[in-house]
Amino acid sequence: MSATETGVLVIGGGAAGIAAARAAHEAGATVTLVTLPGGATTQTAGLVWGLSRDVFRQWNDGAFREGGRYVTVGAWMHTTAFAALPSLLDVSSVTGTLAVVDLPTHPSWSARLVANTLGGRVVSAKDLPVSETFREAAVKFDTAGVAEGIAASLKSACEGCAAVLMPPVLGLRHDDVAARMAAVLGLPVGEAVGAVGDPPGVRAARAVRRWLPAAVTVLEGRATVAKGGRATVDVEGVGTVRAKAVVLATGGLAGGGIVFDRALREVTANVPVWTRTRACVSAPSGASRGADPTAWFAEGSPDGVGVRLDASQRVIDADGATAVARWLFAAGDVTVTPAGAGLLDALASGRRAGEAAAREAGGG
Amino acid sequence: MAIDLPARRPDCDVLILGGGVNGTGLARDLTLRGLRVILVERNDLAFGASGNSSGMIHGGPRYLTTHPEVTRSSCLDSGYIQRIAPHMIFRIPFLMPVYGRGAKAQVMLDAYDAFFAVYDQYQPLKRGRRHTRLTADEAVQAVPGLNPHNLFGAVTLDEWGINGARLCNANALDARERGATILVHTTAEEVLVEHGAVVGARVRDLLTGVASTYTARAVVNATGAWSPITAALSGLEGRVKVRPGKGIHVVLDRPITDVGVMCNAIDGRQIFIEPWGNTCLLGTTDDDTYANLDDLPVTTDEVRYLVEGIETVLPRVREARIVGTTVAARPTLYAYGPTEDALSREHEIVDHTAHGASGLYSLLGGKLASYRLFAEEAADVVARALGFTARCSTHTTPLPGGDRVPEPEMLAARFRITPYAAARLITRHGSRAEAMLSDGGRRGAVTVCTTEPVLACEVRYAVRVEGARTLADVSRRTNLAMGPCGGVECALAAAVIAGEELGWTAAEVRAQAASLIEARRRSRLPAIGVDQARAEGAVDATLRGLGRAVMA
Ligand SMILES: Cc1cc2nc3c(=O)[nH]c(=O)nc-3n(C[C@H](O)[C@H](O)[C@H](O)COP(=O)(O)OP(=O)(O)OC[C@H]3O[C@@H](n4cnc5c(N)ncnc54)[C@H](O)[C@@H]3O)c2cc1C
Ligand SMILES: Cc1cc2nc3c(=O)[nH]c(=O)nc-3n(C[C@H](O)[C@H](O)[C@H](O)COP(=O)(O)OP(=O)(O)OC[C@H]3O[C@@H](n4cnc5c(N)ncnc54)[C@H](O)[C@@H]3O)c2cc1C
């Protein structure tokens, strides 16, 4: 197989990789993105961490607490990265009664509990789909007319309320369910944040994917950065790609960019891994004695572990100062991230790395 | 200390300290004999050795050559436990492989064979099967994946297993339903002695911080490895000695073998792997411990020691996913006195009259397998001292749910749950599963934890009927969150249900869910491997979503 040439090669198609590809493309580079399926971006709860750190913090320490704020998100969107936030409901800004909608068979949604702590009122819809999981329920809400019908049946119960809070079921395939319900009810409709993998997370992943420009070539397969001084990447089942710059956006432990196998390793480019405070000691793979994971956790959460960058977004070497190579950049969870880093941090760092890589590719 | 003793009837006849199998077993026995009992447990029922043992109701083969009467009584009691809790007990066939060649291996195999031929005589007492002797080929057939290299032969051995936490809860529930008061998260802070006689204890509810005093005619220290500390609460420092031996288990995500296998660890100690419900246990270690018994650490060292040992007989243990560890301290008797009473080798009842505290007793040692017998002996002593003459009936009266074992398929069809969920529910609750599902209605049959599985009605029951006060208590009673997800999928759902019962705010619901997820992580941390490490990112994300700031 002959080698393919590209300006910027992005490895990893999560939030960081997509943002990097977009930024590099917008900066004028020819971009190829190679990825495996899965990764953290596909598994989130759709929580908007850092949409505004403030909002998140309020949610974080207040959750449902009296006087606290409870941020609910419909279609997952970020004001600067994306177009709009059509159904973000900040409960703290609701003056008047909040109608909390019951979902009878779901074990982790207790409208009574939420309403009690928020000072809202429990309302029940007629013909609400009977489901055990939020995903199952969301599929039913996707069906044309169902959400509108439920909204109509809620109308009289919501009389006098200022806003309606739904469990996280507002559509799996569609992003406009909250808006459709709001139109029928004539009230803002928000959606409580659920757990990982719940419908808002699925919609968030879709919103991120939409961010990838059509002009970017996408390859599927496992990428390995070849040893040696050149920006050459082998893609399993595809062949060799030669690039002017490479962005490593392979994710953390969840994405597969970092692997714990008696020691923590970065497995795509084989570059040094760091915790937030120090370099991880490497151990030969297969050794029966090696790093003690308890010690590693004592230093912080596992998602903080990753490669270190210099100010120009380049991956640095074991000396903690020099870049591994002029052409190797990184972004997202594969890097040492601050505590609480999430989707938006991945997008932001992806954008920085993509711009830097495009500069390198353009100048080379 | 002197207290104002009101001239009134004491709050109870017997105050029991400690909610392990011995404390709860005694509470049940005394209640059945008509005594009024209060039991206080500092953590939760089965928090200590009883909930973290290997769970073997064995017939005491190791006493076979020296004290066959102990083997006999152990087998007999194993039979009684089957009678009173048929739903809980499950058969564990074990294989003891013999490796090596030539005369030495032959002698070893012959010795095992002869030994277990003698043990076979007692097996009928516990409905146990006779042992068999296998060639190397037969052994590999019996245990697929058994290391065939240098394998000479094997013998099989039949034992029974039980979930110790369920056993404690069943005993406590029966006592409670017959009038006893069972208080969890309530610690004895001081045992009150007046004029050489025990009069009660001052206790504190560790969740609310509220202290109270219970008066009693007798107090029993059934605090296992904690018992020397507990004795010191009544000024009896040094009067009670045990030698806490820490033991851990490694828990795999599924049974990688249907047959337990014994082998030797690197230091020659005997260790084993056993199928355990829908998981598998590797055990165990035995090390003197001086650590805080309320928070015993598990180390990477201990885990690797067990995995390395088991790997010699079952290499695929390396590929299995470890979902957690268990740890507890055995209340090993400090020194085995040179006594003719064979049972004192296992357990001992200390009457503290001679130490200036009449009416105070300490239960030392014991095994899960012999809890009923130990409780009976202790109840004989305590009841007689208080003038009660009723005889023990714990060997004939079924534990709650043990009267009848429903058919999983029928239960499944009737309540529209999976036969597997029904079967798991029945092992924990026997005939009570029916009422639980009927009361729970449609919402009750919803699955909360998919790996175990645990249904919504069981979570509610754990709180309402079995007295759980935290989400971790629910987990101990139901196995909730014990699987690979470590609570990521189910902790919040379960906390919502428990919160409805216990009046938690939504913030408390989230905090409880986060605490359980963190506790599960602590349990598996020393054993984390490639796959589990990959899943830890999701755990962090979940914790953050629950409002926990993950460590920076
Ligand atoms: C379960 C879970 C829930 C979360 N919930 C939230 C939330 O609600 N809100 C929030 O803001 N944040 C959340 N986060 C954090 C957030 O998802 C991550 O910070 C972010 O998605 C990281 O994006 P990334 O692009 O760096 O990595 P990833 O999304 O993991 O992407 C890495 C990609 O690289 C691919 N890859 C890896 N190695 C190779 C290779 N050698 N060759 C080719 N491809 C490769 C992977 O397959 C994957 O597709 C959550 C994280 C997890 C794990
Ligand atoms: C690793 C291991 C494996 C084992 N395997 C087996 C086996 O396979 N078969 C078998 O028969 N036996 C086995 N055993 C032994 C068996 O588990 C114990 O002997 C038995 O459970 C002891 O029960 P207990 O009630 O005396 O103690 P525990 O179960 O330890 O209970 C003591 C309780 O007292 C409470 N407590 C402490 N201080 C106070 C206080 N001040 N106030 C109130 N409460 C207090 C504690 O919280 C604890 O719950 C094993 C033990 C271990 C550790």
For an interface test with A, the pick among B500, B528, B531, B548 (most A C-beta atoms closer than 10 Å) comes out as B528
B311 Cα to the center of ligand 2, angstroms: 29
Residue A223 · residue A235 · CB < 8 Å: yes
Low-confidence ranges of chain A (pLDDT < 50): 1, 50-87, 284-287, 364
Shortest CA gap B72–chain A (Å) = 43
Domain ranges of chain A: 2-58+211-361, 62-198
Which of the 8 DSSP states describes residue B337? -
Contact between B492 and A252 using a beta-carbon 8 Å cutoff: no
Q: Which chain B residue shows the shortest CA-CA distance from A47?
A: B545
Would you tell me how many other CB atoms lie within 10 Å of the CB of residue B546?
23
Contact between B534 and A254 using a beta-carbon 8 Å cutoff: yes
Shortest CA gap B325–chain A (Å) = 13
A34 Cα to the center of ligand 2, angstroms: 55
Contact between B496 and A109 using a beta-carbon 8 Å cutoff: yes
Ligand 1 atom, smallest distance to A47 CA: 8
DSSP state letters, B345-409:
GTEEEEEGGGGT-BTEEEEEE--STTHHHHHHHHHHHHHHHTT--PPP-TTTSPPTTTT----HH
> What stretch of H or E contains B511?
helix B506-524
Model pLDDT, residue B43: 98
Residue B35 · residue B386 · CB < 8 Å: yes
B20-58 as b/e: b if 16+ CB within 10 A: bbbbbbbbbbbbbbebbbbbbbbbbbbbbbbbbbbbbbb
Ligand 1 atom, smallest distance to B542 CA: 3
Contact between B533 and A260 using a beta-carbon 8 Å cutoff: yes
For atom 9 of ligand 1, which residue has the closest CA?
A47
A16-33 as b/e: b if 16+ CB within 10 A: bbbbbbbbbbebebbbbb
Shortest CA gap A7–chain B (Å) = 32
Domain A2-58+211-361 fold is FAD/NAD(P)-binding domain (3.50.50)
Say if B300 is an interface residue toward chain A (CB within 8 Å). yes
Q: Which of B193, B194, B200, B187 is nearest to B226 (CA)?
A: B187
Domain ranges of chain B: 12-49+165-240+344-385, 88-160+244-342, 408-545
Domain B12-49+165-240+344-385 fold is FAD/NAD(P)-binding domain (3.50.50)
Distance CA(A136)–CA(A199), nearest Å, equals 9
B370 Cα to the center of ligand 2, angstroms: 12
Distance CA(B260)–CA(B93), nearest Å, equals 6
pLDDT digits over B243-273, tens only?
Answer: 899 999 999 999 999 999 999 999 999 999 9
Q: How far is CA B178 from the centre of its chain?
A: 23
Model pLDDT, residue B337: 46
Ligand 1 atom, smallest distance to B488 CA: 1
Residue numbers in A near B545 (CB within 8 A): 45, 47, 193, 195-196
List Cα–Cα distances, A261 to A269, A273, A283, A284, in angstroms.
16, 13, 9, 9
Q: Which chain B residue shows the shortest CA-CA distance from A194?
A: B545
Complex-level ipTM: 0.80
CATH architecture of B88-160+244-342: 2-Layer Sandwich (3.30)
Residue numbers in A near B530 (CB within 8 A): 259-261
Say if A292 is an interface residue toward chain B (CB within 8 Å). yes
Model pLDDT, residue A277: 74
Say if B358 is an interface residue toward chain A (CB within 8 Å). no
Would strands A223-225 and A258-260 be described as parallel, antiparallel, or unpaired? unpaired
- Mean pLDDT in order along chain B per 10 residues (552 residues): 64 98 98 98 98 91 82 90 96 96 95 94 91 97 96 95 97 98 98 95 98 98 96 88 93 94 94 94 94 94 94 93 95 61 68 95 93 96 97 97 97 95 97 95 88 94 98 98 90 92 86 94 88 83 72 39
Would you tell me how many other CB atoms lie within 10 Å of the CB of residue B100?
15
The pTM for the full model equals 0.90
Which of the 8 DSSP states describes residue A282? P
Contact between A132 and B510 using a beta-carbon 8 Å cutoff: no
How many beta-carbon contacts under 8 Å exist across A and B?
148
